């Protein structure tokens, strides 16, 4: 095995373990602050919002423009 493969395996294991322990996001935020990257996160309470109707049903169906144009063209011939 090459050195690059071993490094990738170690880094991926470190990411998976830190994510499972819950220390990944605070670490990433600290690194971003040190580098001066302006990243704005949503408040933690907005993540658990209850969406009552994510796919609302429209009262008026949309007009089928293809078939309406087809009917007009057929009547002309």
Q: What values do phi and psi take at 53, rounded to 5? A: -145, 85
pLDDT band at 39 (very low <50, low <70, confident <90, very high): confident
- pLDDT of 58 strictly over 70: no
pLDDT exceeding 90 applies to what percent of the chain? 30
pTM, 2 dp: 0.45
Could you say which DSSP state residue 59 is in? S
- Model confidence at 65, in pLDDT bands (50, 70, 90)? low
| Angle (nearest 5°) at CA 28 between 43 and 6 | 145
Mean pLDDT of the chain: 77
CB contact set of 18 (below 8 Å; sequence gap of 6+): 24, 27
Helix (H) or strand (E) holding 45: none
């Amino acid at each position: 095995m090459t050195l690059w493969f071993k490094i990738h395996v170690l880094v991926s294991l470190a990411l998976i373990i830190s994510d499972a322990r819950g220390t990944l996001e605070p670490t990433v935020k600290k690194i971003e602050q040190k580098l001066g990257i302006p990243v704005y996160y949503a408040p933690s309470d907005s993540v658990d919002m209850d969406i009552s109707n994510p796919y609302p049903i429209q009262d008026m169906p949309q007009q089928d423009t293809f078939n309406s144009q087809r009917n007009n063209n057929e009547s002309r011939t």
